[in-house]
Structure 1
Amino acid sequence: MREICSQLVLLLGRPVDSRLGYEPESVFATSARKSTPQPQVQQGECSMKDDSNASPIRYIALDIHKYYSVVAGVNRDGEEILPPCRVEHMNLEEWLGKHLLASDRVVIESTTNAWHVYDLLEPLVAEVLVANPIKVKQIACARVKTDNKDTLILARLLAANLVPTVWVPPQPVRELRQFVSHRRRLANMHTQVVNRMHSVAHRHHLNHPKGKDFQPKNTAWQQDASLSQLEKLQLELDMATRAHLEKQIEQMTRELGRMSHKEPWASDMLYLMQIPGCGVVTGMTIMAAIGDITRFENPKALASYSGLTPGLEQSGVKLRGKGITKEGRRELRWALVEVAWRAVRADPHWKRLFEELKKRMHPNQAIVTIAHHLLVVMWHVLTKREPYRHYSPERIAYKYLTWSWALDEEQRGGMTRPQFARYYLMRLGIGDELKRVALNPEFPYRLASVEEVLAIRPELLRSE
C-alpha cells in the first residue's frame, strides 16, 4: 500500500491518504511540483519529436471524443513533455505517424470508437493499453474536470504503471459483438412495436383470434368500428414496421447460424451447444462477450466478468449482501438468463434446482442463480474441452440435431441434418455406437453413420 501511495503522490502531486490511496477532495497541484523546463511549443503546433539521439520511453495518452482527440505526454517521472493538444480525427492518422516513436507507450480509454484508434496506434509504438474508464475514475478524480486534465491524468497513470486495463478483442470478436448488439436492438424495437399494437387492442377491449398475433389472417380486429381513423393508421404503420423488422432479424439470425458452423466459432460452439437451453443466437452472443475463454483462470473470474456475482458491503463487523454487480457486458447477462429460463423448462436437473431455489428466494433471483451455475458449466466444458457430464451421448446428439434445424443446407455446408449431428458427435469423440435418437419413442431421429460422414469430411479421419 505504501508503494502504491507513493506512486500516486508522484502521479497526482498531492497528499495521499493511505486508507484511500488518494485524496478525492483535493485538486491537482501540478503547478506546485517542481519540474524541469519544457521546450517551447509554438501556438498551433503539437511537437513530440526529440532531436537527441537517445529515445527515453515516453508515456502518451489520448482522450478520444467524437470528432477529435486530446493528446498529452509525460516522462517516466510524470513530468509533462507534451502539453495537451487537440487533433481532429480527419488528421489523426497523419499526426500519429509523424510524431510517435517506436519506443512510446500509449494509453487510450475504452470508448465506442477506441478500436479504430487502437488499430492506428498498434504498428507505430511499443505498447498500446486500453484503460477501463470506470476504474480510472475511481483511482484518480479531480474537482475540475477538463479534457486537458483528464489526458494528463491518464498519461501519469501510465507512467506509474497504474492503468486498469481491459482485454483487447481481436477483429472477429469485435465484429461479432457489434453484430449481436445490433440484432438485439432490432429485437427490442420489434417488442416495442408489438406492445404498441397490443395496447390499442386492450384499450378497446378487443380480443385477438387464436393463433399467432398480427398475422394477416388474424388482423380483422384492426378494422373494428370502435377504432378511430388515426388508430387504424397507426396499426397499419406498425404492421409494416413489424414486418420489416422481422425480415431484418431473420436475415441476421441466418447469418449467425452460418457463422456458428465456421471458424473461429465452430470449435467453441461444438461444446457450448451441448448446454441445456443454449441455442444458436444465445450461444453466439455468449461467445462474442467471452471471446477467448483462456483469459479466465477459473469459473469465479468468468462469473465476476459477467456481473452475475453478488456484491458485498463491509463496515467493521457488519456485512451486508447486495444484488449482482451488473459489471461486464449486458448482452452476456441477457443471454445467460435466456438460457437459464429454457434450461429450467426443458431439463429435469435444472428444473429441480430451480424449484429448490424458489423456496427461499424470488423466482427472478433463482433464475439468476441458475444462470450463474450454467456459466460455471460453460467454463468447464469450454476450458477442458469435454462433453457435458449431465447428458448422455443421445441427449447431446439431440442438441446437435436442434442446432441443425436452425440452419439450412447451405449453412450446414451441404450436410444433411443427420450428417451434421454425426459430424459434431465425431468431433466431440462420443456416440459412435448411436444409430438414432429416440428420446421420444414415437418420433425417433436417424443419425448418419460414421462412414457416411467420413466420406464427405475426410479431415476428421486425418485429425484422428
Structure 2
Amino acid sequence: MKILAMDMGKSKTVVCYFDSVKGTHRYETISTEPAKVHNIIVGFEAQRVVIEIGPAAGWVCDICKGLGVEVEVANTNHDAWRWKNVKKKGDREDALKLAKLSAAGDLPLVHVPKKDVRQKRSLIAYRQSLLKRRIAITNNIRAIFDREGMVMYSGDKAWNKAGLKYLESEAREPGACKVEELWRGELFIELAQLVSVKDAIEQIEGKLDEIGKTDRGTQILMSVPGIGPRLSEAMNAAIDDASRFDNGKQVGSYFGLTPRRYQSGSTDRQGKISGCGNKLARSMLIQVGWLGLRYSAWMRRIYERAMGGSKSRKKIAIVAVARHLAVLCWVLLKEDRMWQVRNAA
C-alpha cells in the first residue's frame, strides 16, 4: 500500500512517501498549502493519507474525501503516540512513525467531523471565548473600583441598567482625565469593550439559535427537560455521528466523565475523572447537572443515589448526573427520537 504520511507545521510540512509492500520510504518538504498537499496526493497516487490531529486536519480530510482517498488522523494524546527514551526525534521521524503505525494497524485514531459540523464546533467555542472575555472585563472593572477604594453595586446588579448607568457616570475619556483620575479613562475603555463583547455574544447566539431551529439533532436534545439550546447544540456537535459509539461506556469515556484507573496485580485503584475529550461540553454537562437538581426529578434521583447519603460524595454524584446526561443525549440522537417520560432514570 502506498501511504503518504505528513508531519504538518504552520508553514512547512514534512512528507514521507511510504510503500508498505516494498518497505521503502523517502522524504520531501513542502509548504503547508491546500494546493501543494492536493498535488502530492495525486502525484504519489496515495492509497492512504496519514496525519496528526491539528488545525490543518479538517481541510486535509476534505481534500482526501474529494479525491476518494482513505485518510487516517492520529490521536497524539494517546499513550501509543508518546515518544519515550528516544535519542532522536524530528519531523521526519514523526512522519515515518505515522506511516509505520498506520501500515501495522496500530495507529490510535481520532474522529474528524464534516466541514459543517467543524464550523458549528468552532462557533460554539468562539462564543465560550467571548464569555471568558466578558468575565475578564467585569473583573477588571471591579478591580479598578477596589483599587480606588470605591464601592459599586454587588452581584448582577452591577451590570443591569442602573448599575451600568452609575459606571458610565464615573467614566471619562482618557484624553479628558487628569493625572489623579486616570482610572476613569481605564473604566471608559473597559465599558466600551464590555458593550462590544455583549453585542458580539448576542450576534453569535442569534446565529446559533437560527441554526438550531432547522437542526434535527439540536431539536431532539432540546426536548429533554432541563436541557436548553446551548447544551443541545454543543452535545449535538460533539457527538456528531452517534453510530460511532457502541455503548454508553464509550460515550462517558469520550467526554472524560469516567475515572482514571491504575490496576496491577492485587492493586486496583480508581482516581479522578480522566478529563479527556471535549472540555467545553463536559463543563456544560456539569453546569446543567447542578441546575437540574432544582428542576429535574430524574436528575435529583440519580444525584441522591450516587451520593449514598454522604455529603463528601457531592462531586462524584454530580459527575454521575453529567454522565447520565451525556449517555441520554447519545441514545436520543442514535435512535433519532424526542424525549419521552419513560426515558427517565
Q: Smaller-chain TM-score range?
A: 0.7 to 0.9
User: Which sections of structure 1, spanning at least 5 residues, go unmatched?
Assistant: 1-56, 393-464
Residue 108 of structure 2 aligns to a residue whose secondary structure is coil
Aligned to 1:196: 140
Q: What displacement does 1:169 show?
A: 0.7
More displaced stretch, 141-150 vs 360-369: 360-369
2:73 pairs with 1:130? yes
Q: Does 1:150 align with 2:98?
A: no
Question: Aligned residue pairs: how many?
Answer: 329
Find the aligned partners of 1:143 and 1:228 in 2 and give their Cα distance: 60
> Which of 159, 162, 166 is 1:214 aligned to?
159
Within the candidate set 175, 180, 188, 2:124 is matched to 180
The CA distance in 2 between the partners of 1:143 and 1:308, in whole Å, is 36
Partner of 1:48: none
2:300 to 339, 351, 362: 351
Larger radius of gyration: 1
Q: Which piece of structure 1 moves more, 248-257 or 325-334?
A: 325-334
- Helix, strand or coil at the partner of 1:254: helix
Give 1:255's aligned residue.
207
Distance 1:104 1:140 in 2: 27
Unpaired runs of 5+ residues, structure 2, are 172-178
For residues 125 and 390 of structure 1, do their structure 2 counterparts lie closer, same or farther at Cα, with a shift above 3 Å needed?
closer
TM-score, length-scaled by structure 2: 0.86
Alignment match, 1:401: none
1:320-359 → structure 2 map (5 Å cutoff): 320-355=269-304, 357=307, 359=310
Amino acid at match of 2:59: H
Q: Within 5 Å, give how 1:390-401 maps onto structure 2.
A: 390=341
Instruction: Report runs of 4+ in structure 1 exceeding 4 Å deviation.
Output: none
In the other structure, the counterpart of 1:269 is 218
Distance change >3 Å, CA 209–CA 111, structure 1 → 2: closer
Name the CA distance, whole Å, in 2 between partners of 1:210 and 1:174: 36
Q: Matched residue of 2:186: which SS?
A: helix
Structure 1 length normalisation: TM-score? Answer: 0.65
Alpha-carbon contact 1:303-1:376 (below 8 Å) kept: yes
Q: Which residue of 2 aligns with 1:164?
A: 108
Aligned counterpart in structure 1 of residue 316 of structure 2, from 343, 365, 369: 365
> 1:312–1:170: structure 2 CA closer, same or farther, 3 Å change rule?
same
Residues 286, 335 of structure 1: 8 Å contact kept = no
Task: State which of 92, 95, 98 in structure 1 corresponds to 2:39.
Answer: 95
Question: 2-side partners of 1:230 and 1:391: how far apart?
Answer: 62
Query: C-alpha distance in 2, partners of 1:293/1:387?
Result: 15
Match of 1:75 in 2: 19
**Root-mean-square deviation (CA), in Å?**
2.6
Shift in alpha-carbon separation, 1:332–1:65, aligned structure 2, 3 A: same
RCO comparison, higher one (Cα < 8 Å, 6+): 2
Q: Is the 8 A contact 1:340 1:371 kept in 2?
A: yes
Maintained 8 Å contact 1:107/1:158: yes
CA contact (8 A) 2:18 2:24 kept: yes
Change (3 A) 1:277 1:84: same
